[in-house]
């Protein structure tokens, strides 16, 4: 990709500025105690909470990958962002009040408050391992690959002005290819140097993988290690502004190109030229149906991933826990949900624009190079339609997105290790400063370990599938434990411990023995099996009888509603033949659901001693949050009604 000097100055200047800002925050904030370092003194305003949530969530490989999916399957891939907006509203309404009521620092800590130390310790070790070995390492790897994609292209051998002989898997091929044809197979505008020599000359245009990993590690370290959550959040606030401005700049310029200078004219033009790319629900036969299987993007197992990520994820929830108050946290999460509605504008629309232009480039007077794979669509837009100066800004936004994600994960791994493992199990009575120092050491170790593991992920064919598989092994159990622990007071510690313990073996067994069963169906089945175990174990552990001085029916109905939303649709779709798999799985899902419902509605057991006393009053929200929630729900309804 071609970058002018102005672009490089803007990019390098931005990175140095942000690193300096992170160091300044670290020196300005003394972080004298654990609350200062790990929860930013519980003083974050709503706009900082919301901005940091988005900055932590969006990363470069996501922008490249979603635009690539937009190129192939269209706006339907935006369901991940749109449904995240709805999930955030539900998390703010029903989960945050319970977390903040218990005044916790971490997700494992909540599990001890509600259950016991076994559950806390088991999940603490698992979460640290997952964050470092899977999340941080994969973001390093995918971020480095994204920078490679934008900053260079594969090795070539140049003979003369007209022909090239490419390297394939490190070997020189024997076939001569026309230079211009070869260029069209690479990133757009990949300049092939004019070599006046009869000898073959090797030219390496691909940035070594270790270099972007090293840059990302140094950049992230200045934002996360010394200043703690406060430095991460305040740099996130700046980076999310740059991310949105940079992303929208790219979208505006390419839409203005196809819309004769009009942004909205460009959107309308894309809809006219590629109406199929604006279908939000894909039908069978669509090339993207295996990834976005129809109505399953709205109901079914995908809700497990949504609730786990936005409601039980340390590096997401930690921002809300650090807010000034519950109301402030809820407004911040609602603000993040509002921003989610706009992300498809730059995370999907440029990919659709690339599809429309490259389908008939002559119609647009475009004579440049094309792309060889869909994931190159955003770099292609960036190179061909974003002007000098703005190109550096957009690239800065992409690197900012990677840095924010890594910094957030590093801080969260450090928080869990220090408070849930080190302090809870080994050194319980040291001064606050000691734990802050341990937190910094843990953050450094997490960053280095993630960076060292990252190159090894190249051995996996699909990194996203790698992340999905390993996260999906535990997420059904975690979601079930949190939901039942919060909203059913009879849930016992043994039931929760068994649920967490069996979650990984159960999911792994289904993955190995039934690999052809769709991933979302396996998650739905795991969730209902674990829910059944929780109810049955708790039912037999708690003695019968005992009058209740509260009405628990609303919470039971809420749990039943969650199971209906997550698991029942998959069971029904299997039985009617909409999902091509063995009908036994459909019968299992619906049968287990009926058992759970029956026990919940008929049981008359005493509460667990550590059950959380909550009432419906806890979930009342103010007018600002309610207005935002209503607007988001109406917007989603309009989008899916118009573009179904």
pLDDT tens for each residue of 449-477: 999 998 887 765 555 555 666 677 888 99
Closest CA to 566 of 371, 302, 213: 302
Task: Please indicate, yes or no, whether residues 67 and 188 belong to a single structural domain of this protein.
Answer: no
| Model confidence at 111: pLDDT above 50 | yes
Backbone angles phi and psi of 323, in degrees to 5: -80, 170
Lowest mean pLDDT among 124-133, 459-468, 628-637: 459-468
Mean pLDDT score, 343-368? 87
* Domain boundaries, position 183: 156-206
* Residue 620: inside a domain: no
* Residue 195: inside a domain: yes
CATH of the domain at 237: 1.20.1730.10
* Residue 325: inside a domain: yes
Task: Please indicate, yes or no, whether residues 401 and 466 belong to a single structural domain of this protein.
Answer: no
CA distance 521 to 517: 7
Mean pLDDT score, 296-314? 86
Closest CA to 85 of 282, 285, 344: 344
Task: Please indicate, yes or no, whether residues 101 and 197 belong to a single structural domain of this protein.
Answer: no
In this predicted structure, what is the pLDDT of residue 548? 74
* Residue 628: inside a domain: no
Task: Please indicate, yes or no, whether residues 84 and 196 belong to a single structural domain of this protein.
Answer: no
Task: Please indicate, yes or no, whether residues 190 and 59 belong to a single structural domain of this protein.
Answer: no
| Model confidence at 41: pLDDT above 80 | no
Query: In the block, which residue shows the tokens 């940079």?
Result: 246
Query: In the block, which residue shows the tokens 């006046």?
Result: 196
Comparing 370 with 68, the larger pLDDT belongs to: 68
269-301 burial, b if ≥16 CB within 10 A, otherwise e? bbeebbeebebbbbeeebeeeeebbbebbbbbb
Q: Give the whole-number percent of the chain exceeding pLDDT 90.
A: 35
Q: Give the whole-number percent of the chain exceeding pLDDT 70.
A: 86
What are the tens digits of pLDDT across the range 384-441? 888 888 888 888 888 878 888 898 899 999 999 999 999 999 998 888 889 989 999 9
Q: Which residues contact 247 (CB under 8 A, 6 or more apart)?
A: 63, 343, 345, 346, 347, 394, 397
Task: Please indicate, yes or no, whether residues 450 and 528 belong to a single structural domain of this protein.
Answer: no
* Residue 637: inside a domain: no
Lowest mean pLDDT among 200-204, 222-226, 565-569: 200-204
In this predicted structure, what is the pLDDT of residue 155? 35
Task: Please indicate, yes or no, whether residues 363 and 465 belong to a single structural domain of this protein.
Answer: no
How many structural domains does the chain have? Answer: 3
Task: Please indicate, yes or no, whether residues 121 and 166 belong to a single structural domain of this protein.
Answer: no
**Are 396 and 82 contacting, i.e. CB atoms less than 8 angstroms apart?**
no
Task: Please indicate, yes or no, whether residues 107 and 182 belong to a single structural domain of this protein.
Answer: no
* Residue 643: inside a domain: no
**Are 149 and 379 contacting, i.e. CB atoms less than 8 angstroms apart?**
yes
The highest-confidence range among 173-177, 471-475, 589-593, by mean pLDDT, is: 589-593
* Residue 533: inside a domain: yes
CA distance 19 to 8: 17
Task: Please indicate, yes or no, whether residues 23 and 73 belong to a single structural domain of this protein.
Answer: yes
| DSSP letter, residue 576 | T
In this predicted structure, what is the pLDDT of residue 172? 44
Give first-to-last CA distance, the chain, whole Å: 37
Task: Please indicate, yes or no, whether residues 238 and 178 belong to a single structural domain of this protein.
Answer: no
| Model confidence at 159: pLDDT above 50 | no
Q: Where are the alpha helices (DSSP H) in 542-567?
A: 553-566
Question: Among residues 436, 459, 482, which one ends one of the domains?
Answer: 459
Q: Where are the alpha helices (DSSP H) in 41-78?
A: 46-57, 60-73
In this predicted structure, what is the pLDDT of residue 396? 83
CA distance 119 to 485: 12
Question: Among residues 395, 427, 459, which one ends one of the domains?
Answer: 459
Task: Please indicate, yes or no, whether residues 466 and 561 belong to a single structural domain of this protein.
Answer: yes
| Model confidence at 633: pLDDT above 90 | yes
* Residue 642: inside a domain: no
Question: Among residues 409, 439, 459, which one ends one of the domains?
Answer: 459
């Amino acid at each position: 990709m071609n970058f002018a000097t102005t672009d490089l100055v803007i990019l390098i200047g931005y990175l140095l500025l942000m690193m300096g800002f992170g160091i300044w925050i670290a020196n300005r904030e003394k972080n004298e105690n654990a609350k200062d370092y790990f929860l930013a003194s519980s003083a974050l305003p709503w706009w900082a909470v919301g901005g940091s949530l988005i900055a932590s969530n969006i990363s470069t490989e996501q922008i490249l990958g979603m635009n690539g999916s937009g190129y192939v399957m269209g706006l339907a891939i935006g369901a991940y962002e749109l449904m995240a907006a709805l999930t955030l509203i539900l998390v703010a309404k029903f989960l945050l009040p319970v977390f903040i009521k218990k005044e916790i620092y971490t997700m494992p800590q909540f599990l001890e408050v509600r259950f016991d130390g076994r559950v806390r310790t088991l999940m603490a070790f698992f979460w640290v391992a997952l964050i470092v070995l899977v999340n941080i390492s994969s973001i390093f790897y995918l971020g480095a690959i994204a920078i490679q994609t934008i900053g260079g292209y594969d090795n070539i051998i140049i003979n003369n002005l007209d022909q090239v002989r490419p390297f394939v898997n490190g070997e020189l091929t024997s076939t001569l290819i026309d230079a211009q044809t070869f260029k069209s197979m690479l990133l757009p505008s990949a300049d092939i140097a004019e070599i006046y020599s009869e000898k073959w000359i090797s030219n390496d245009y691909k940035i070594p993988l270790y270099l972007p990993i090293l840059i990302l590690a140094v950049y992230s370290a200045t934002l996360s290690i010394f200043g703690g959550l406060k430095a991460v959040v305040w740099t996130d606030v700046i980076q999310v502004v740059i991310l949105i401005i940079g992303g929208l700049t790219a979208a505006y310029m390419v839409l203005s190109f196809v819309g004769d200078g009009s942004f909205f004219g460009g959107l309308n033009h894309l809809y006219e030229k590629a109406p199929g790319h604006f279908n939000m629900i894909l039908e069978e036969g669509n090339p993207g149906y295996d990834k976005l299987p129809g109505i399953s993007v709205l109901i079914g197992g995908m809700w497990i991933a949504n609730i786990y990520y936005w409601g039980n994820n340390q590096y997401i929830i930690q921002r809300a826990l650090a807010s000034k108050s519950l109301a402030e946290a809820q407004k911040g999460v609602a603000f993040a949900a509002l921003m989610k509605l706009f992300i498809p504008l730059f995370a999907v629309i440029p990919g659709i624009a690339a599809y429309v232009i490259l389908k008939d480039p002559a119609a647009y007077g475009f004579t440049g190079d094309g792309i060889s794979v869909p994931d190159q669509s955003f770099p292609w837009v960036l190179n061909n339609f974003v002007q000098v100066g703005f190109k550096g800004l957009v690239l800065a936004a992409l690197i900012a997105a990677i840095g924010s994600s890594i910094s957030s994960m590093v801080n969260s791994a450090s928080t869990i290790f220090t408070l849930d493992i080190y302090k809870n199990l080994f050194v319980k009575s040291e001064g606050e400063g000691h734990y802050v120092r341990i937190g910094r050491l843990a953050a450094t170790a997490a960053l280095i370990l993630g960076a060292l593991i990252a190159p090894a992920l190249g051995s996996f064919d699909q990194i996203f599938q790698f992340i999905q598989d390993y996260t999906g092994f535990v997420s059904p159990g975690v979601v079930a434990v949190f939901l039942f622990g919060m909203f059913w007071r009879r849930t016992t510690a043994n039931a929760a411990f068994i649920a967490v313990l069996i979650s990984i073996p159960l999911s792994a067994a289904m993955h190995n023995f039934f690999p052809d069963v769709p991933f979302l169906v396996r998650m739905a089945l795991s969730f209902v099996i674990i829910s059944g175990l929780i109810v049955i174990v708790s039912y037999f552990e708690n003695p019968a009888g005992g009058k209740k001085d509260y009405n628990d029916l609303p919470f039971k109905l809420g749990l039943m509603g969650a199971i209906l939303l997550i698991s029942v649709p998959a069971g029904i779709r299997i039985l009617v033949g909409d999902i091509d798999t063995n009908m036994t799985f459909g019968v299992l899902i619906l049968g287990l659901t009926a058992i759970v419902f029956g026990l919940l509605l008929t049981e008359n057991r005493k509460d667990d001693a550590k059950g959380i006393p909550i009432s419906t009053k806890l979930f009342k929200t103010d007018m600002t949050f309610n207005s935002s929630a209503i607007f988001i729900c109406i917007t989603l309804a309009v989008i899916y009604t118009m573009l179904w």
